[in-house]
Amino acid sequence: MSQYFDITSIVFLILAVAIFLRLRSVLGRKTGSEQSPFEPVDRSRAGEPAARPDNVIPLPTRAPQAETADANPSPPRYAPEGSALDTALRQVMSADRNFDPTSFVVGARQAYEMIVTAFAEGDRDTLKMLLARDVYDGFVSAIAAREAAGHKLESKFIGIDKADITEATVKGSTASISMRFVSQLVSVTRDAAGTVVDGDPVHPTQVIDQWTFARDVTSRDPNWKLVLTEAAD
């Protein structure tokens, strides 16, 4: 009996080791689509908000890479080589080794949609997560005034036509990235009786915004937050 037990134990032990090695080979392998704790955005589904920690703005960065001959390349699609924007982006990349313009734009597009939607829905928690304090106060004041008037904003986000980096700066330890968004929205405001007081419930409107995001590159907090909003032409 003891011999039978010993043989059985050895068999199960071999199976357990084999399963463990198999799982490690799968779970421990990078496929290029993993997300770090700072990357709540699923890049393979860039049009859909992904699950995220409650305190992280979905502006992803690249994983640290090995040094190359050009450690801070600036994608031509965002900045022609030798341009002022190209130089500025390189400065941001030098200050924040995890910053990548392409990944930033992917995340900024999602942040833009999240903020526009949260404002329409009066979602203060989401806005607080994504906005700097003074910008948050302005948004909340507008929401409170709307609610006090008994108005309801209905907004359907159609999509973003363009999202371009227009400016980049590093001042002290603060990196800032400005973006110009061209989007399509169906937006209408109704009173308590449901009567339209502003907007169009059917036809989309083109909206052009200039937004600036910033973060302290020396901080362990990876969050980029919206620090400035402007209407653009």
The half-sphere exposure of 131 on its side-chain side, counting CA atoms within 13 A, is 23
Spans of all domains in the chain: 37-62+74-231
- Give the phi and the psi of residue 151 in degrees, each rounded to 5: -95, 155
Amino acid identity of residue 101, one-letter, is P
Contact 213, 111 (CB under 8 A): yes
Distance separating alpha carbons of residues 106 and 168, to the nearest angstrom: 16
Distance separating alpha carbons of residues 157 and 101, to the nearest angstrom: 24
Contact 107, 115 (CB under 8 A): no
Contact 185, 205 (CB under 8 A): yes
CATH 3.10.450.240 fits 37-62+74-231, yes or no: yes
The half-sphere exposure of 127 on its side-chain side, counting CA atoms within 13 A, is 20
Going residue by residue through the chain, which has 233 residues, state the pLDDT in tens, using 9 for 90 and above: 544 445 444 444 444 444 444 433 333 333 333 333 223 333 333 334 444 444 444 454 444 444 444 555 556 678 888 899 999 999 999 999 889 999 999 999 999 999 999 999 999 999 999 999 999 999 999 999 999 999 999 999 999 999 999 999 999 999 999 999 999 999 999 999 999 999 999 999 999 999 999 999 999 888 899 999 998 77
3-class secondary-structure state, position 54: coil
Tally of CB atoms within 10 A around 117: 16
